[in-house]
Amino acid sequence: MAFAPVLHSEWLKIRTLRSLPGALLALFAVTTAFSALAGTDGSSDPEFDPLFTAMFGILPGQIAAIAFGALAVSSEYHGGALRLSLAAVPQRGRWFAAKMTAIAVPPLLVGLVTAFTALVVARAGLGSAAGVLTTAEQVRGVVGCGIYLMLMALFAAGLTAVLRSGVATLSVLIPFILVVSFVIGDAAGTVADFLPDKAGQIALHQTYDGTLGPWSGLAVTALWTAAALLAGAWSVRRRDA
């Protein structure tokens, strides 16, 4: 079967699985709400970064992007759905590529819209404090945010293909982001810059210190994602459905 119809069938699964549009809606709502709240009192922080303040909602909102990627893949392991998918598309690599493409696009598009909306509402709260942001910095923040959310969704999708469980994936990634990045990450110095979430989030800052910059940070996150996807592809190809 050609790639296009396989991609179309996987896109239909994304559209019809109710929890997935719900995760994207949660991504938009949570990110926008937290960015709006951050914009109302963020300028009082002595280490105030107006761009990161405007994008602050991404920190809780990314959990919805991770859930999107995990649920999109874990649905294949319920009720023998994967066996049916592979019966229709025996080329497992082609099926996996179509699945990941269908998973990648929605978080990217919703992430761009969400980041732009978060920036607008946060700027309204920040007032003149946001005036120091250049157009290039704001564009970089919005685009970087969309790419970052897409990569985190794919990272979760690849890990779910390995673990074969959305619950297991969320049990690993959510504590990792909420605990490791904020506790161990702060104590680890520059090593923390190379964690998958910390690296990508550099693009959300106006100023940044350390080894990585905005785009090199996203490249590190992309490498983590590529490793997870390669492991997931290997799992799909080598293990029984």
Per-residue pLDDT tens over the stretch 152-175: 999 999 999 999 999 999 999 998
Name the residue among 9, 153, 11, 166 with its Cα closest to residue 74.
166
Residue keyed to tokens 């979760």: 156
Instruction: Give the pLDDT of residue 95.
Output: 93
240 in any annotated domain: no
What pLDDT sits at residue 238? 84
Percent of the chain, pLDDT > 90? 56
The pLDDT > 70 percentage for the chain reads: 92
Q: Is residue 225 part of a domain?
A: yes
pLDDT at 63: 96
* Amino acid 44: pLDDT: 55
Instruction: Give CA angle at 149 (148, 155), nearest 5°.
Output: 90
3 state SS for 59-125: HHHHHHHHHHHHHHHHHHHCCCHHHHHHHHCCCHHHHHHHHHHHHHHHHHHHHHHHHHHHHHHHHHH
Place of tokens 């929890």: 19
List of residues 6+ apart from 128 with CB closer than 8 A: none
Q: What is the gyration radius of the CA atoms in the chain, in angstroms?
A: 18
Q: Which residues contact 140 (CB under 8 A, 6 or more apart)?
A: 203, 214
Is 195 inside any structural domain?
A: yes
Angle at 170 between CA 168 and CA 174, to 5 degrees: 135
In a domain, 241, yes or no: no
Residue 172 covered by a domain: yes
Examine residue 184 and state whether it is found in any structural domain, yes or no: yes
**Distance, CA of 36 to chain centre:** 20
The pLDDT value recorded for residue 234 is: 94
Asked whether 121 and 178 are in contact (CB, 8 A), the reply is no
Distance CA 151, CA 132 (A): 29
Per the prediction, the chain carries an average pLDDT of 88
The domain total for the chain is 1
**Residue span of the structural domain in which 174 resides:** 3-235
